[in-house]
Amino acid sequence: MSRPKRPSGPRAQTPVVEDDLHAFVDGALDAARRKEVQDHLDRDPEAAAMVARFAAQRQLLRSAFAPIVDEPVPERLRLQTLLAQRRDPPAWRWRMAASVLVALGAGTFGGWQMRDRWEPSGGIAALAGEARSSYLAYASDTAAGPSTDGDREGDRERLLRLVSDKLQRPIEIPDLSAAGYRYAGGRLVATVHGTAGLFFYERADGTRMAVMLRPMAVEKEAPMMAQSQGEVGGFTWAMRGLGYSVVGTEKPGVLHPVADEVRRQARERAAIQS
């Protein structure tokens, strides 16, 4: 199709060209010009058919790609996450500098269903945020995984001693083999509310999840709460002064039974100890 330029001059004399048909389809014409083009289409069935095809095509494209904008934005693409990463040194630099990393408090990451704005500072909502940011910092990146190897008994014992020492209480690594998760290693993580132990688990298909434990200064007893934001979700609670958070990218339906199992084992140990 030839594409003549629209000549300049008074509007009433401006012929309708192909660009006008596209602009009509895209709603890019002002009301006066739109009326002129509409009048032209009423007289020119060929142009009208073309406009109808292009309008249908436009609608087809829009509806084909519409589902993407309705999806939740992944955590790593959220503005708050990206801004927080700029404010604080990138995790990889920290990993090189030190094995103990200061996890960001829950308040740093927006969008939590429960925030410590109205929760006591350092409570389970904060723990949920810490578990989540630690998980994002370590577990999502295989290269930055656990500082100890779950397969090596010496590593495991050393980590347990370290964690028990720092958390000032005997800590056990939950056994989640019944749920299909193999202990893959762990590390100490410093949070703004104290040191925490972070244990990683892996399923046969490579799916990872983690359990975080830290002493609770407030909310020493708290029922299990569900958390989810972006791709990472989990369950957090507190018992006898110790907070627990089970985090991962699996669906709540997968993580919930795992959290129940961690809680059951903790209760069992508590019953033995008392």
Partner 1 sequence: MASIAALEPLIPALRRYASAMLRDRDLADDLVQDCLERAIGQWDSRRQEENTRQWVFAIAHNLIANRLRQQARRGTHLDIADVAESALMVPAPQEHRVRHGELMAALAALPEEQRSVLLLVSVEDLSYAEAARALGIPIGTVMSRLSRGRERLQRALDGEVVTAPGGAATLRRMK
Where does this chain bind partner 1 (CB under 8 A)? 1, 3, 18-19, 22-23, 26, 28, 53-54, 57-58, 60-62, 64-65, 67-71, 73-74, 76-79, 82-83, 86
Token pair for residue 157? 């014992």
Q: Provide, rounded to whole angstroms, the least separation between the CB of residue 235 and partner 1.
A: 26
Q: In degrees rounded to 5, what are phi and psi of residue 177?
A: -65, -30
Question: How far is 84 from 90, CA to CA, in rounded Å?
Answer: 9
The nearer residue to partner 1, 1 or 178, going by C-beta atoms, is 1
Catalogue the E-assigned strands of the chain. 102-103, 181-191, 194-203, 208-215, 222-229, 232-239, 242-248
Residue 131: closest CA among 86, 89, 79, 193: 193
The nearer residue to partner 1, 86 or 154, going by C-beta atoms, is 86
Residue 31 CA, chain-centre distance (Å), reads 45
The nearer residue to partner 1, 66 or 178, going by C-beta atoms, is 66
The nearer residue to partner 1, 111 or 252, going by C-beta atoms, is 111
The nearer residue to partner 1, 64 or 272, going by C-beta atoms, is 64
Residue 254: closest CA among 233, 237, 224: 233
Q: How many CA atoms lie within 13 A of 176 on its CB side?
A: 31
Residue 235 CA, chain-centre distance (Å), reads 15
Q: Provide, rounded to whole angstroms, the least separation between the CB of residue 83 and partner 1.
A: 7
Q: Provide, rounded to whole angstroms, the least separation between the CB of residue 84 and partner 1.
A: 11
Q: Cβ neighbours of residue 41 under 8 Å, at least 6 residues apart?
A: 24, 47, 48, 51
